């Protein structure tokens, strides 16, 4: 019931008897896959986030917002997660359990502590990324510009994400009683069945991934005045979001493999689960950061455009709040006659407001061709 030279119970006697002899000199090891996959993913993610922060600081009026601070914390936690996963290979993760058994007395406790920490860090990191995406939707679709129903869906997604994160943290921390029994096998205590909790967590995580991708589709599909470049940006973002959802489905598969299909070779099978977790975290951060990179690839003065859009959204939100408070419509905006600019001597034009009784009241003024003052304008046609 124990490893060949260990005092720690790793599997039932019938499973141990079927194990091949332990290879303590040169065991088969797939721990290198963690470094090969996750280090490049982390470097690309940090680079994309750095570009995002540079673009937001240098090319936008509002600078860093709440969604940016959430993504910064998520990136930091993802770096911690990948570091812990790579360190776990130093304590036997990546080799078969029968090869790990002779070293269980030495390596099991630190390896299980790392696994315990990784569950908590992953849960917080992936959910902060979702909160960042949903917060970005609030900025992208401000109230007064879009329907209030979209904001209700966004806030509902935030509430579900926070509740799911708290429930997962409670389940991960208190899965064993006492808590230390998770990494100290020989002490008195018990652990609850981990497979149902891990599978439910993985499924809920994938469902919230899909929710974050599809919640703004109604508004985005209604965009008609978007150039080809903008359409490609939108398509790229949703393609990355689909990949993140696919990574979540892969994680469900490895969760079932580690905790149900092959429960007595978890030191070997956990490598695939760790890679899927890192892939989901890093791609989620990249997907959340790509829309913020648009100012770096535009030819116009994006800071000015961003200011105009921000001011326009503020005015629309203010008008919507006034309408809800007073029950009256906001006054119509000024309409400027553009036909005057077709005349070669037109420098400025006075606005035609909703109170003007006749469009002929509009005058041209201060034209260098007519220094003596104002003159009536003869309009060839009304546009």
Q: For residue range 143-188, list pLDDT tens digits in order.
A: 766 778 888 889 999 999 999 999 999 999 998 888 988 888 878 8
Residue 292 domain flag: yes
| 102 and 235 co-located in one domain | yes
> Are residues 74 and 196 both part of a single domain?
yes
Domain extent at residue 377: 333-383
Q: Are 16 and 97 in contact (CB under 8 A)?
A: no
User: HSE on the CB side for 360, CA within 13 Å?
Assistant: 3
User: Is 37 a member of any domain?
Assistant: yes
Bridge partner residues of 29 (DSSP): 95
Is residue 7 within 8 A of residue 249, CB to CB? The reply is: no
Verify that 292 and 382 share a domain, yes or no. Answer: no
CATH of the domain at 85: 1.20.1070
- pLDDT computed for residue 122 by the predictor: 95
Q: How many CB atoms lie within 10 A of CB 170?
A: 10
The 3-state DSSP class for residue 51 equals helix
What pTM was computed for the model? Answer: 0.73
Residue 5 within any structural domain of the chain: no
Q: How many structural domains compose the chain?
A: 2
Q: What percent of the chain has pLDDT over 70?
A: 69
Q: Do 294 and 152 sit in the same domain of this protein? A: yes
Q: Residue 216 has what DSSP assignment?
A: T
pLDDT digits (tens, 9 = 90+) for 220-239: 666 555 556 656 666 666 77
Give tens-digit pLDDT for 301-342: 444 444 334 444 555 556 666 666 666 555 544 433 344 444
Domain termination site, one of 283, 298, 313:
298
Helix 194-214 vs helix 104-140: angle between axes, to the nearest 10 degrees? 20
pLDDT at position 40 is 94
Q: Is residue 48 part of a domain?
A: yes
Structure tokens given for 282: 């890093």
Residues 264 and 375 in one domain: no
Of 205, 200, 196, the residue nearest 260 (C-alpha): 196
**Cα 91 to the center of its chain, rounded Å:** 31
Calculated CA dihedral for residues 188, 193, 198, 200, nearest 10 degrees = -140
Same domain for 57 and 194, yes or no, is: yes
């Amino acid at each position: 019931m124990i490893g060949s030279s260990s005092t720690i119970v790793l599997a039932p006697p019938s499973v141990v008897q079927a194990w091949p002899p332990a290879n303590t000199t040169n065991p088969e090891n797939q721990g290198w896959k963690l470094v090969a996959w996750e280090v490049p993913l982390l470097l690309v993610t940090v680079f994309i986030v750095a570009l995002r922060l540079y673009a937001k600081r240098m090319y936008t009026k509002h600078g860093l917002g709440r969604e940016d601070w959430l993504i910064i914390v998520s990136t930091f936690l993802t770096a911690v997660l990948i570091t812990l996963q790579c360190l776990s290979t130093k304590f036997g993760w990546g080799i078969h359990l029968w090869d790990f058994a002779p070293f269980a007395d030495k390596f099991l406790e630190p390896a299980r502590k790392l696994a315990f920490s990784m569950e908590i860090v992953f849960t917080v990191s992936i959910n902060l990324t979702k909160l960042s995406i949903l917060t970005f939707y609030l900025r992208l679709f401000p109230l007064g510009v879009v329907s209030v129903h979209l904001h209700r869906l966004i806030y509902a997604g935030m509430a579900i994400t926070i509740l799911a994160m708290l429930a997962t943290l409670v389940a991960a921390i208190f899965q064993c009683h006492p808590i230390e029994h998770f990494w100290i096998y020989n002490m008195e205590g018990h652990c609850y069945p981990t497979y149902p909790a891990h599978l439910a967590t993985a499924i809920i995580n994938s469902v919230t991934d899909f929710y974050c991708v599809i919640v703004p589709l109604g508004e985005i599909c209604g965009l008609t005045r978007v150039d080809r470049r903008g359409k490609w940006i939108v398509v790229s973002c949703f393609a990355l979001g689909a990949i993140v959802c696919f990574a979540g489905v892969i994680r469900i598969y490895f969760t079932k493999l580690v905790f149900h299909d092959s429960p007595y070779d978890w030191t070997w099978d956990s490598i695939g689960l760790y890679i899927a977790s890192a892939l989901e975290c890093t791609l989620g951060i990249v997907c959340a950061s790509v829309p913020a990179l648009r100012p770096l690839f535009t030819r116009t003065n994006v800071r000015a455009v961003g200011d105009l859009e921000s001011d326009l959204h503020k005015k629309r939100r203010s008008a919507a709040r006034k309408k809800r408070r007073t029950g009256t419509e906001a006054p119509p905006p000024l309409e400027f006659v553009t036909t005057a600019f077709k005349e070669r001597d037109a420098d400025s034009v006075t606005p035609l407001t909703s109170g003007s009784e006749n469009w002929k009241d509009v005058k041209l003024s201060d034209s260098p061709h007519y220094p003596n003052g104002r003159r009536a304008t003869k309009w060839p046609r009304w546009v």
